[in-house]
Amino acid sequence: QVSVALKEGRVTPTELCQRCLALIKSTKFLNAYITVAEETALKQAEESEGRYKRGQPLGILDGIPVAVKDNFNTAGIETTCASNMLKGYISPYNATVVQKLLDQGAVLLGKTNLDEFAMGSGSTDGVFGPVRNPWSYTKQYKEKSVPKFHSEDQESNWVITGGSSGGSAAAVSSFTCFAALGSDTGGSTRNPAAHCGVVGLKPTYGLISRHGLIPLVNSMDVPGILTRCVDDAAVLLGALAGHDPKDSTTIQDDFKPFELPDLTDVSKLSIGIPKEYHAPGLSSEILALWSKAADLFKNAGAKVVEVSLPHTRYSIVCYHVLCTAEVASNMARFDGLEYGHRSDVKDSTESMYAATRREGFNDVVRGRILSGNYFLLKQNYEKYFVKAQKVRRLIANDFVKVFRSGVDILLTPTTLSDAAPYTEFIQEDNRTRSAQDDILTQAANMAGLPAITVPTALSERGLPVGLQFIGRSFQEKQLLTVAKWFEKQVQFPVIQLEEVKRHDSAVFQHQKSASFS
Amino acid sequence: LAPWIPVVGLEIHAQISSNSKLFSGSQVQFAAPPNSLVSFFDASLPGTLPVLNRRCVEAAVMTGLALNCSINKRSLFDRKHYFYADLPAGYQITQQRVPIAVNGSLSYSLCIDNKMSQMVTKTVRIKQIQLEQDSGKSLHDDTRSQTLVDLNRAGVGLMEVVMEPDMCCGEEAAAAVRELQLILQTLGSSQAIMAEGQLRVDANVSVHHPGEPYGVRTEVKNINSIRFLAKAIDYEIQRQIEELENGGTILNETRAFDSKLGCTIPMRDKEGKQDYRFMPEPNLPPLILYDSKSLPANMNHQQVINIDWIHERLPDLPSVKREKLVEQYEILPEHSFTLLNEDGLAEFFESVVKQTQMKPKKVIGWILNDLLSYLKQHSLTVKESPVSSFLLADLLNLLEKKEISSTAAKQVLAELWKGEGKTPLEIVKEQKLELLQDQKELEQICQAVIDGQENE
């Protein structure tokens, strides 16, 4: 809609940019942004305006304000991965996906907050502090939350965004941008998207280039897309997908961007409900919602069947072995020699390395490095790493079998419950939380499959809950088409932010229902 | 005393001759200003990914074929982890599990008892050839207690050639490496100049008694020339024998060759064995090569490598070249070795042969005895020879036509080395070296000599 507005001149890119920047300022307490690139954003907006005036916009994304997770390289703009190791690091190059956005005229507002090096499921473990879920400040949450806190204590009642792409999710959810890039390795885009009430798409592995995405697990990472509606996600996908010679793991086939049809007849669809996703700890609320969604499809004429993915319960353990092993390897480059933080300890190269890494990495990162190195030791390699790879193949085969049996799309919950209050979340350590929270999203990364979370309803506490669709490899069109149909059916309510004081309410009204397609 | 059997194996790293590095587009060049040939990937900037260089793969396939290896149609890349200042990523990308070529052989020749006339052919098995990254260079500045790091070399493509322990002494190892060097240079897959670090050899040495299992081996590094290779190996064999005969033991360690002292010394920083924590390289899919049978019909040939296509275009290897020289020119096999051993000598020889009526069998003597020894004496390469093939051919023609004697020819040659631009004929005339052909004149001279003798 806003894209049309730009085209028709009802609003200019500069105005749009300025409003977003103002909104970022007034929602600073969310801590969604690490860096706001005000100057360059305004400049990009100006250039976009020029193009619109000449009647030559670059496309739908021209002039659209976007945000990018701070583990993507952005030339000239600090890239920190929310770590001391890269504080002040200014990359000399743009990640391919960032370049693509810029080439289409998008306006890059800034870099969003995350768990350090994308390790975590809360966006609470970065050096710039935790990200707050915008829904903590909504009318809907206030009304439903247990009224045992005084207004002073309300400060401590805020809920997390989920993670690790929490900043991006919060940014999209609070209207400070129209789309954001996240990354997804075990659910890091879908988890916060579900908690923040936005759409979170994990594309098929190999569809979108990882060049410039600072890696967590090279064999599972994908750039993730966060938007306010499914159509917008399709637009972003079209702008970003396709072979990149700089990334040897992208597929060679041509990618054709698509527009999503308005599906009316779902009778030819077969929806699978994997029984193993009724995981321990799944809230009764979400279970009920999941059931309701299944019925929705059934009543509309689709075939809804229970299916089994028997190796699901091994996926978390398997993931931890493979993830930590790759982390140990990927983090080996951070030694303070070529870039990033370097310790003052100078006695020898080794002591400099050791001190740099102790100072630069938080406990979570260091913990994973130690575990990973353990699993990669010669005497452990077969027992852990190779075994985990074999289990990974079994998990992937589970999906293959189910899809071969005639199922088109799988429907599952995205998270075990709605967003937890921060004070409650930090009672358990990062590793425990990750192990719990990744369980519903993680297998799709193991198998490289596309998955999308769609905001479905508000929980009893007034917080968003999303449901997840998992599709066949490279069948994003079908996946998004079904997701779009579902989105239309559930009519998820718009966020009603309360505590945004110094703010132009007229603008707010305008942006309330804003999508850009 | 029971005899000792020395066992020598070699690990050879050959820098691939290519315009750009193995996984990135930065240039490959010797002695460029420090850190001027470093791409983002070479510097291990976070988020960068490796992209395989086609030319490097072709070089490895050519080398594998020339060494009679089986080329693996599917090979894999791995990460080998260790921390060092010259390894920016903290790991090297190599091929540990499935290398590109395996199970080959290399034939080389030796002179028995230092007599050029008796040559024997030996074979060493090639275990494998793998593609891997070179590291950067680190220089230790002890006066300022700092380490200087130059990453120009980081990421340059290497072929590691592993030779099985089929050799028994320094001479054999040197001959094998020399032959490998010639092969690489003929193929163009590596320039293999040891002095420029394009060919680096590590030797694995052990000794044992016949009938007993192999002894503990040591690894000898830091060998900068083929001559030093033979020396280092022979020294190490001797050291091990002496150590064992004195009741000592051999440690499984790495030793550096000190060329000044002519001995091997233990290297300091190997505390305990390194665990390299090998892991598959997740950013590089398996390397798939095709042959004419397996090549899919509609494949863009720019995108793939066809082993058979490369095989058909291999140049004549040194062994083949030597055979042809022997056959064509009726020279001895040991002559052909010397011809190929010296850069440009074979071409010089053939050029002279073309320009003279003298039989090649005779020309070869002039080439190997006179020309080559002169060049060696003055440390000149064939290219730098003040006597061109044209001049030498000219001279040999005079000899062939019996216009001068062979003694005179040697005198002329000595004059030609001065490089003053005179032709052989001019020198002959100057020094009055012409052979007299006139029978009558000769009789007069002889008669004069006899008369002279009678008068005394």
Number of structural domains chain A divides into: 1
Q: What is the pLDDT of residues A77-94, one digit of tens each?
A: 999 999 999 999 999 999
In a domain, A391, yes or no: no
A166 within a domain of the structure (yes/no): yes
Confidence at A514, pLDDT banded by 50, 70, 90? very low
Measured CA distances, B338 to B266, B341, B346, B381 (Å): 36, 5, 9, 14
Q: Is the pLDDT of residue B115 over 70?
A: no
pLDDT the model gives residue A503: 40
CA distance A425 to A75: 35
Largest CA distance in chain B: 103
Mean pLDDT of B161-167: 97
A176 and A184 Cβ atoms separated by less than 8 Å: no
Residue A418 lies in a domain: no
Find the catalytic residue in A48, A69, A83, A121: A69
CATH number, residue A34 = 3.90.1300.10
pLDDT value, residue A148: 52
Q: What is the pLDDT of residues B214-230, one digit of tens each?
A: 999 999 998 989 999 99
> Which residues on chain A are in Cβ contact (under 8 Å) with B275?
377-378
DSSP label of B314: P
Residue A162 lies in a domain: yes
Look at A248 and B81 and tell me if their CB atoms are within 8 Å: no
pLDDT at B124: 97
State what percent of residues in chain B have pLDDT above 90: 64
CB contact (8 A) between residue A91 and residue B47: yes
Is residue A226 domain-resident?
Answer: yes
The contacts of residue A390 (CB under 8 Å, 6+ apart) are none
Mean pLDDT across the stretch B309-319?
95
Task: Work out the average pLDDT over A462-466.
Answer: 95
- As a whole number, mean pLDDT of residues B346-370 equals 91
Shortest CA distance to B164 belongs to which of B193, B122, B223, B110? B122
pTM metric for this prediction: 0.91
If you average pLDDT over residues B321-336, what whole number do you get?
A: 91
ipTM value > 0.85: yes
Residue B213 has pLDDT above 50, yes or no: yes
Q: Cα–Cα distance between B149 and B86 in angstroms, integer?
A: 6
In a domain, A317, yes or no: no
Buried b (16+ CB within 10 A) or exposed e, A43-74: ebbebbbeebeeeebbebbbbbbbbbbbbbbb
Would the pLDDT of A508 be above 70? no
Instruction: Quote the domain boundaries for residue A215.
Output: 1-142+158-267+424-436+451-511
Going by pLDDT thresholds of 50, 70 and 90, the confidence category of residue A504 is: very low
Query: For residue A47, is pLDDT > 90?
Result: yes
For residue A487, the 8-state DSSP code is: H
| Chain center to CA of B399 | 36
Give the residue-averaged pLDDT of A453-475.
96
- Nearest Cα of chain A lies from the Cα of B361 at a distance, in angstroms, of 57
The answer to whether residue A469 is domain-embedded is yes
Catalytic residue flag (residue A270): no
pLDDT of residue A507 exceeding 60: no
pLDDT range class, residue B445, cuts 50, 70, 90: confident
**pLDDT for A511:** 42
Residues in B 247-276 with any Cβ partner in A closer than 8 A: 275
Quick check: A517 pLDDT over 60? no
Q: What is the mean pLDDT of chain A?
A: 91
Give the DSSP H/E element, type plus range, for residue A299.
Answer: helix A284-299
Q: Could A349 and B85 be called an inter-chain contact, meaning their C-beta atoms sit closer than 8 Å?
A: yes
Confidence at B274, pLDDT banded by 50, 70, 90:
confident
pLDDT of residue B233: 96
The answer on pLDDT for A506 being more than 80 is no
Give the model's pLDDT for residue A502.
Answer: 34
Quick one: DSSP state of residue A252? -
Per-residue pLDDT band at A103 (split at 50, 70, 90): very high
Answer yes or no: A291 catalytic. Answer: no
**Would you call A164 a catalytic residue per the annotation?**
yes
Report the pLDDT averaged over residues B390-413. Answer: 86
**Beta carbons within 10 angstroms of residue A202's beta carbon:** 30
Is residue A216 domain-resident?
yes
Compute the average pLDDT of residues B262-278.
Answer: 79
Which pLDDT band, with edges at 50, 70 and 90, does B269 fall under? low
Q: What per-residue confidence (pLDDT) applies to A147?
A: 55
Distance of CA A342 to the CA centre of its chain: 30
Say yes or no to pLDDT of A166 above 50. yes
Flag if A95 and B47 touch (Cβ within 8 Å). Answer: yes
User: What pLDDT was estimated at residue A73?
Assistant: 97
Contacting residues of B for A325, CB less than 8 Å apart:
279
Taking residues B185-208, report their average pLDDT: 95
Question: Cβ separation of A92 and B45 shorter than 8 Å?
Answer: yes
Instruction: Tell me which residue of A472, A479, A334, A317 sits closest to A403, measured CA to CA.
Output: A472
pLDDT tens for each residue of A387-420: 999 999 999 999 999 999 999 999 999 999 999 9
Query: B134 to chain A nearest CA, in Å?
Result: 16
